[in-house]
Amino acid sequence: MERARQIAILGMCVSALLAVLKIVVGNLAHSAAVGADGFESATDVFTSGLVLAGLILAARPADENHPYGHGRVEILIGLLLGFILTCVGCGIAWHGLTGAADETRVPASYAIWPLLISIGAKLCLLFVKSTHGRKIGSSSLMADAVNDGIDMLSGFVALAALSLALYNPARFLRADHYGAFAVGLIVIATAARVIYESGMQLIDTMPDDQSMQRIREVALGVADVAGVEKCFARKTGFKYHVDLHLEVDPEITVRESHDIATQVRDTIRQQLPWVADVLIHVEPSPQEQRQPRSRVMPG
């Protein structure tokens, strides 16, 4: 978790430096595309701050009023990021369109350099955030990584638009502003994706079929487990909570069935680190599915 916080702080610092560089150079060089990309980077400072706050709050331990922990705060932060990106994208797109009609000045060629620097820096941040976000299962850190990827794409779009304006100002002078408009559309599309993915987690969408099958396989691998009738999982932050209906021999004692359930729970948590806890309901197995019993030692 400490590593994730450090990454979020690093993202804020890098985005702040890039924002200042692109906004200043964009104004001096009269490039709307570079300026728009700079304002998008300025928004990244705020969004990275939200990610940092979400990571801190989500890491708080469970308490009496939050027995599942505070992990869903992190999902809410991802949802909030999506709405913020929507507003920013609309603003950038509107500014790009409204300024195109009155443009008369050719951008300076040195405006290209901030875009190249930004693309390289965002590539590094994308790799670091996505790798660590996937490792700890952080939706907000992954959303921030996606945002860095979109920053790279918007940087390429701004670079292409600026290059057209510099290559043939007589024909493509307004291309720089249209590039700013395209950057806004890219941000809006990114926001829609972030909102969708965060919303799916918020409504308890189950993990992929392969992950669910893996839970069943681990449970069935424990001695004296006759079958798995039902298996559900929901994400409560960084990890999943699993509800499992376990089938055992109906002739065994309550203590033996309890020991089997405990062993299944412990085995799943050991072999599947993305599972936070397992709630097991023990049921009698159908007559035809019973397996030969092997004595379960109380644990």
User: Torsion angle, CA of 188/194/196/198, rounded to 10 degrees?
Assistant: -150
Domain at 2-202, CATH class = mainly alpha
What is the rounded CA–CA span in Å between residue 148 and residue 236?
25
Q: CB neighbours (10 Å) of residue 57?
A: 16
Name the token pair of 23: 């906004």
Q: Please give the pLDDT value at position 29.
A: 83
Q: Please give the pLDDT value at position 173.
A: 67
Name the token pair of 289: 């599915």
Looking at the chain, which residues constitute the CATH 3.30.70.1350 domain(s)?
A: 209-289
Name the token pair of 112: 């290209």
Q: Please give the pLDDT value at position 137.
A: 66
Q: Please give the pLDDT value at position 286.
A: 80
Q: Please give the pLDDT value at position 267.
A: 93
What is the rounded CA–CA span in Å between residue 137 and residue 216?
21
What's the number of CA atoms in the CB half-sphere (13 Å) around residue 30?
12
Looking at the chain, which residues constitute the CATH 1.20.1510.10 domain(s)?
A: 2-202
Q: Please give the pLDDT value at position 266.
A: 92
β-pair type (240-248, 275-284):
parallel
Point out the residues of the chain with pLDDT beneath 70: 1-2, 4, 55, 59, 67-69, 99-104, 137-140, 143, 173, 237-238, 287-299
Q: Three-state secondary structure along 104-154?
A: CCCCCHHHHHHHHHHHHHHHHHHHHHHHHHHHHCCHHHHHHHHHHHHHHHH
Cα 214 off chain centre by: 23
211 Cβ contact partners less than 8 Å away, ≥ 6 residues apart: 233, 274
**Per CATH, which fold does 209-289 belong to?**
Alpha-Beta Plaits (3.30.70)
Q: Please give the pLDDT value at position 138.
A: 67
Q: Three-state secondary structure along 186-232?
A: HHHHHHHHHHHHHHHHHCCCCCCHHHHHHHHHHHHCCCCCCEEEEEE
